[in-house]
Amino acid sequence: MTKAEFIAKVAAKTKLNKTQAEKAVNCFVDVVKEAMKKSDKLSLVGFGTFSVAKRKARNGRNPQTGKPMKIPAKKVPKFSASPSFRKMVK
């Protein structure tokens, strides 16, 4: 599903026009991004939790040359689905 298709479905379910639905979807995405930027946790009961995970520095290999290289530590966004959401997807 594309973002445009998602917006169309939100508009249909909420009886908003597509412009209002797009504004709502973009606002949701912005709020999630802001929370991740601050390293906050955003929990939506029955859906899941957005959080920031820290990856340790590690050794790896350059796939083109095969030479060893250091991969630096970094923060990455993480989504953990709630148990009820996981059951629904099965």
**pLDDT tens track of the chain, all 90 residues?**
999 999 999 999 999 999 999 999 999 999 999 999 998 899 999 999 999 999 999 999 999 999 999 999 999 999 999 999 999 988
Is residue 50 within 8 A of residue 31, CB to CB? The reply is no
Rounded to whole angstroms, how far apart are CA atoms 72 and 24? Answer: 36
The CA distance from 30 to 46, in Å, is 21
Say yes or no: 18 and 50 in one domain: no
Whole-model pTM: value is 0.77
Q: Tell me how many domains the chain contains.
A: 2
31 shares its domain with 55: no
Task: Kindly state whether residues 46 and 28 are assigned to the same domain.
Answer: no
Residue 90 has a pLDDT of 80
Residues 30 and 47 in one domain: no
User: pLDDT digits over 39-52, tens only?
Assistant: 889 999 999 999 99
Together in a domain, 53 and 88 = yes
Domain range holding 57? 40-90
The reply to whether 44 and 84 lie within a common domain is yes
